[in-house]
Amino acid sequence: MYCLIFFLSFRLSVLELGENPSSSLNMQSVAADTEETMNVEPSTILALAKNALSASKQALALAEDLKLDLDDSLSNSLGSANSSTLPVEEEEAPTVRSTRRLERQSKRRRMPSKFMISDTYSLRKTNVRKKVSGSYDPNDPLRLFLRGPETTQLLTAKEESELIVEVQDLMRLEKLKSNLQSQFGREPTLVEWAEAIGLSCSALQAELHNGNRSREKLVYANFRMVFHVAKQYQGRGMNLQDLLQEGSMGLIKSVEKFKPQVGCRFATYSYWWIRQTITKSIVQHSRTIRLPENAYSLLGKVVKAKRSYIQEGNHCPSKEELATRAGITVQKLDKLLFTTRTPLSMQQPVWTDQDTTFQEVTPDTGIEIPDVSVAKQLMRQHVRNLLRVLSPKERKIIKLRFGIEESKENSLSEIGNIFGLSKERVRQLESRALYKLKQCLVKQGLGAYADLLV
């Protein structure tokens, strides 16, 4: 320890000497004192170390003032001191230290690239973690249920057969209860139900409890298959929650219908029930206007044909190609695509970030625009002014004939009955009145309303 403290004080003293060129100390005197300091008291060594530390601080301040390189001055001072005073064994030590210093410098030069690589990797890892956290909601009850022990633990063939036997016993008890209900005209009591079976009430309750528990365990163990089948029918007009609900109903139905004598596992049998209930629910509830089932089958063929063309590289197949591969005519394909269009709700928002609906931006064709309405009012006023050139009798006949100021157009015989004239005479008066009006059309300027009469 004393040697280490002495060596530190020696280096700091050399630093002071190298930084102050005007110092009168001799390096040889410092080297000669090294042997004497080995036998000095520890307190003296600590005092010398403090003095050396203060000298190093002064040298550092001087180096900053003179803007000199501290490392170069230190190496020069150590080189001169070692070459003049230190023995041969101590001359090798600076070489070793300088080699380490070069190695450390080379490592420092390579450090930034490693840091950059690690930073890039950590950034990518953070982005992936963000994406995963954005798509995965830890509070989603469906995901929590799928990760639970009820759905992750698979059943063996022996456990499955035992559960099915208990479920069949439960179905037998429920069938007997329905028979008693139809016989009594009311729901039977627990005592009546137990007497009909030949069991006690406690034994009947135990049987019912075991049967219900076995059915729930069988349904929960196969619920992941419902999720697997429901994912294949996404994007067909129903969300995933509704598909899972319909698939679960099919799974429960398969539990009631399954018989071990069919020679297959329960999962193989329930798969078709799940798939059937999901497809039927899509046909019934996927569209506002229900389509027949054969339309869905034809549409499935068309979608399959289009998918096959896309896999082959043809991303825009024509209608003739789709009809040929689907096995239908082009006219039938056009009719199918026209009938399977998805209706659009007028209350649906136009933009996702606003509350504006299609009803608010769609014009009403039954209401005239202000320009056309004003033009028609001016035209009616001009027509009334034009009728003033006719006699009162002719004006009345024209108004009754064309329904002016009335909603009904009268025939020639009806007008004749009003005036007590024949049908032919009314026709003659009408023709003469129209001729007078044609003569005045140019003067009144009614040709400007020709676009409104088209």
The structural domains of the chain, ordered by start, are 144-286 (1.20.120.1810), 289-362 (1.10.10), 370-452 (1.10.10.10)
CB atoms within 10 A of CB 48: 20
**Higher pLDDT residue, 290 or 139?**
290
| Element holding 378 (H helix, E strand) | helix 370-386
**Non-local CB neighbours of 221 within 8 Å, separated by 6+ positions:** 150, 151, 153, 154, 155
Query: What's 446's DSSP letter?
Result: G
| Element holding 186 (H helix, E strand) | none
**C-alpha to C-alpha distance for 157 and 159, rounded to whole angstroms:** 6
**C-alpha to C-alpha distance for 414 and 395, rounded to whole angstroms:** 16
| Cβ pair 48, 38 in contact under 8 A | no
Tell me the sheet residues that pair with 357: 349
| Cβ pair 81, 41 in contact under 8 A | no
- Is the Cα torsion angle 174, 180, 185, 188 positive or negative in sign? negative
Phi, psi of 139 (to 5 degrees): -95, 5
Phi-psi region of 405 (alpha: psi -120 to 50; beta: other; left: phi over 0): left
- Structure tokens belonging to residue 292: 């027949």
Question: Please, what is the Cα angle at 337 between 334 and 343, to 5 degrees?
Answer: 140
Phi, psi of 265 (to 5 degrees): -75, 160
Which of 54-58, 107-111, 166-170: highest mean pLDDT? 166-170
pLDDT digits (tens, 9 = 90+) for 413-425: 988 898 888 999 9
- Structure tokens belonging to residue 169: 């016993």
Q: What percent of the chain has pLDDT over 70?
A: 71
Tell me the sheet residues that pair with 200: none
Rounded to whole angstroms, what are the CA distances from 119 to 106, 107, 122? Answer: 21, 18, 5
The pTM assigned to this predicted structure is 0.48
Q: What percent of the chain has pLDDT over 90?
A: 23
pLDDT class of 269 with cuts at 50, 70, 90: very high
- pLDDT score at 452: 63
Tell me the sheet residues that pair with 349: 357
**Non-local CB neighbours of 11 within 8 Å, separated by 6+ positions:** 78
Rounded to whole angstroms, what are the CA distances from 96 to 27, 90, 91, 92, 139? Answer: 22, 11, 10, 7, 62
pLDDT digits (tens, 9 = 90+) for 289-337: 888 888 888 888 898 999 999 999 988 999 999 999 999 999 999 999 9
- pLDDT score at 151: 83
- Structure tokens belonging to residue 214: 């076995």
pLDDT of 115 > 50? The answer is no
- pLDDT score at 339: 86
pLDDT of 117 > 50? The answer is no
The residue ranges of DSSP E strands in 318-449, in sequence order, are none
- pLDDT score at 52: 79
| Cβ pair 423, 416 in contact under 8 A | yes
- pLDDT score at 123: 54
| Cβ pair 436, 389 in contact under 8 A | yes
pLDDT digits (tens, 9 = 90+) for 189-224: 989 999 888 889 999 999 999 999 999 999 999 999
- Structure tokens belonging to residue 186: 């009311």
